[in-house]
Amino acid sequence: MADILLPADPTLDEMRAALGAVIPAHAVFDGWTEIALENAAKELKLDPAHARLAFPDGALGMIDAWYASIDTRLAAAFPPERIAAMKIRERIGALVLARLDFARPHKQAVRSALAILAQPSHLAAAAKFGWRAADGMWRIAGDTATDFNHYTKRVTLSAVYGSTLLAWLDDESEGEADTQAFLGRRIDGVMRFEKFKAQLVPDPERRFSVTRFLGRLRYPAA
């Protein structure tokens, strides 16, 4: 049984969060269906009827809750003191690989989840989930950007994580070495892009400043 503690009379949000961590083990066999939800509820000793109330959005909600549970586990696995000891490249690589590690026991559930998210009616939700995963990883990594970089970093990491996830699903190499190499190449590309962006930003000391210009008129350099 899952090591999850619930209050005696859990709210729908509490049930949704708890079930999100348990459903994928059943979705491996039954897909993201009410059968999987019912079996997960029984595992947690919850009334299946109440569990269904926690997921009015059906399969999409179950996948959403699972991804949210991974976000929670990831934050717990990488406290600030652990992250502080890593360089930024190492942080992103470790976080992406950790997400894959959490999903590994339920690889078939990942496949079926992606098939559902690939449906035209679910593309907006898929983009939302990808953004949230990237945002969570950047926040854990210590990113505090609030300018345009905040958005470009998350869009880029979302693409890196998504492509790495697909490579991982087909990886049959020993120790998933191919996935690690693939991720390494993607991160190298991101780092080169970040350096290129930095070169496009003018040096603040070289920007025209009216105040500095007038100051030099008044107090010419010796």
Predicted confidence at residue 149, as pLDDT, reads 86
pLDDT computed for residue 139 by the predictor: 96
Task: Return the half-sphere exposure (C-beta side, CA atoms, 13 A cut-off) of residue 90.
Answer: 7
Q: How far is CA 64 from CA 54, 61, 116, 197, in A?
A: 12, 5, 12, 33
CA distance 75 to 32: 25
DSSP one-letter string for 102-147: HHGGGHHHHHHHHHHHTSGGGHHHHHHHHHHHHHHHHHHTT----S
Separation of CA 77 from chain center: 14
Tens place of pLDDT for every residue, the chain, 222 residues?
446 778 788 999 999 999 999 999 999 999 999 999 999 999 999 999 999 999 999 999 999 999 999 999 999 999 999 999 999 999 999 999 999 999 999 999 999 999 999 999 999 999 999 999 999 999 999 998 888 889 999 999 999 999 999 999 999 999 999 999 999 999 988 777 666 566 655 555 545 454 554 555 555 554
List, for residues 42-74, the tens digit of each pLDDT value. 999 999 999 999 999 999 999 999 999 999 999
**Cβ-Cβ contacts under 8 Å for 14 (sequence gap 6 or more):** 6, 7
